[in-house]
Amino acid sequence: MSKPLQFSPLRVLQGAVIFLLLTLMLPAGAVTEIHTAAQEASEPKYIAIVNQQGKLAIGGMCVDIMRAMEKADPELQFTGDQLWQPRARIDAGLKAGNIDVICGVQRIARNTSQYQFAATPLFSVNYLLAVRADDIVAVEDWDDIRKLGNDGIILALRGFGIVDILTQMGGLKIDDTATSSISNLKKLLAGRGRFYCHRSPGIGLAIRQAGLEDKIRLLSKPQLTEKFYMGMAKTMSPELVRKIGASLVLLEKNGELKRIFERYQE
């Protein structure tokens, strides 16, 4: 007959200690670094701030959303949101594999050809038209602007989704050569355009920062409403896409996305 195996208490204890040490050495969850960038001239998605240490930093809705996503899922870590880049460079970075996500983009053809989208919208905005305060123009809809012809030039920002939307509407005169709101506001005052179309929140802040509250007014009509999403590289792994999507679902359900958006209302 074979003898039963015998284990000494010391060997059992040693084995348990070794197993515990090996378990502690295993990572609780692999942190995934997600590369992005702060889009220039996109206030309040990204805004220049002074942090608690008194140093210049980048804040805004997108930074708040990404920090909230990291809190919801500690395995997500966004990097690059403290570096300014123009939209064209961000898109180029995506193609080169240096950018993984862009925060706050619309479902328009130019974007869907480059990015895949998380299903949960980050926020919705209204596009408003700004005019000179002394301009008595009154328009009810986009047809009224079309009828103005060359007297109805709409200023917009180069590379921004609103340019694609206005162009698709047809018959509108668009000047998208400027790369910042302050440039378009100056062009508006100089008569180099009749309207400046930009999103709210954002356009009111730009007017205040330029000190032009008494020189520029916002029209109530016409308006456009657009949803903005988290855009992700099409080469991103399905598991990471799932994790990003799940974190946004959680933030939408617990009301955090709404709270972040409301902090930046004009």
| Tens digit of each residue's pLDDT (9 = 90 or more) over 67-99 | 999 999 999 999 999 999 999 999 999 999 999
242 has pLDDT over 90:
yes
Instruction: Look at residue 6 in the predicted model and tell me its pLDDT.
Output: 52
5 has pLDDT over 80:
no
Share of the chain above pLDDT 90, in %: 88
Q: How confident is the model at residue 30 (pLDDT cuts 50, 70, 90)?
A: confident
27 has pLDDT over 80:
no
Count of helices and strands (H, E) across the chain: 10, 14
Instruction: Look at residue 266 in the predicted model and tell me its pLDDT.
Output: 79
Name the amino acid, one letter, at 98. N
Q: How confident is the model at residue 10 (pLDDT cuts 50, 70, 90)?
A: low
Instruction: Look at residue 16 in the predicted model and tell me its pLDDT.
Output: 47
Q: For residue 3, give the DSSP letter.
A: P
228 has pLDDT over 50:
yes
Q: How confident is the model at residue 11 (pLDDT cuts 50, 70, 90)?
A: low
- In the chain the domains, ranked by start, together with CATH numbers, are 32-123+228-263 (3.40.190.10), 125-225 (3.40.190.10)
Provide, for the chain, the percentages of residues in helix, strand and coil under a 3-state DSSP scheme, each rounded to the nearest 5.
40, 25, 35
Cα 90 to Cα 220: distance, rounded to the nearest angstrom = 33
Q: How confident is the model at residue 7 (pLDDT cuts 50, 70, 90)?
A: very low
pTM of the complete model? 0.86
Residue 172: Cβ within 10 Å count: 18
Q: Which one has a higher pLDDT value, 58 or 52?
A: 58
1 has pLDDT over 60:
no
Give SS3 for 97: coil
Residue 77 pairs in a beta bridge with 33
Q: Please answer whether residues 136 and 217 qualify as being in contact, where contact means their C-beta atoms are separated by less than 8 angstroms.
A: no
Q: Please answer whether residues 163 and 109 qualify as being in contact, where contact means their C-beta atoms are separated by less than 8 angstroms.
A: no
Rounded to the nearest integer, the mean pLDDT of the chain is 91
**H helix or E strand, kind and range, residue 260:** helix 256-263
Cα 71 to Cα 109: distance, rounded to the nearest angstrom = 32
Q: How confident is the model at residue 14 (pLDDT cuts 50, 70, 90)?
A: low
Share of the chain above pLDDT 70, in %: 89
Q: pLDDT tens, 157-212? A: 999 999 999 999 999 999 999 999 999 999 999 999 999 999 999 999 999 999 99
Instruction: Look at residue 29 in the predicted model and tell me its pLDDT.
Output: 64
21 has pLDDT over 50:
no
Q: pLDDT tens, 112-127? A: 999 999 999 999 999 9
Phi first, then psi, for residue 233 (nearest 5°) are -60, 140
Q: Please answer whether residues 91 and 36 qualify as being in contact, where contact means their C-beta atoms are separated by less than 8 angstroms.
A: no
